[in-house]
Structure 1
């Protein structure tokens, strides 16, 4: 993690493939040991979600999103400040082919919708671009 996070935090002068591979690797690490990665989420969620949104739909992106879902299940509050970025990353999918992953992403979104009360969910949704909101509608949120 100590090598991957700085790559995503300062991607400006770095190769796009390095950033993508770092994002995927972080997702795979999060998938196998979320309890070790989750306490550090607030330090990398925003740039990680930006990097994830740039990756084309494939098995590697699926792996990374499995890690994202595992982290959110482990530490939902760690991603709260990056929720708009996470929604953008989720909306970057053309189609999640894995039903299991689609359901996990759906659970993440519904979990935040239940967690954010008194208009907080609506406020988050209002910060999203219309096309992002439209793509998220397939998750019934």
Structure 2
């Protein structure tokens, strides 16, 4: 009987432990807002570069390891590689449309060190980015 209780306790702890390895909820919500912004801004019919970012999956650190990198200890997002998410080859004669990104979307990322927004036809800038953050446009 005691072995059964030990087994049940270990099973319960494993479920709790799995949830503790998820990314920070505030950052997960912010990533979904960033995806929504890019989806709204992108041209109709163009490919959704962030389709793996899904609200049904709680661990945003596992969504796309090429775009979202998390710290192994804190589970906080430390790198966001969003290069080319909104890029469309418009051709030589097309008029390019530049987009203004709401920088407040990135405020929840307290440990963000690298933010790559290159090749997205974005304009504007980031102020008070701090010495720990590298931003690529």
TM-score normalised by the chain length of structure 1: 0.28
Q: Return the structure number with greater strand share.
A: 2
Compare the two structures and name the one with the higher helix fraction. Answer: 1
TM-score between the two structures when normalised by the length of structure 2: 0.28
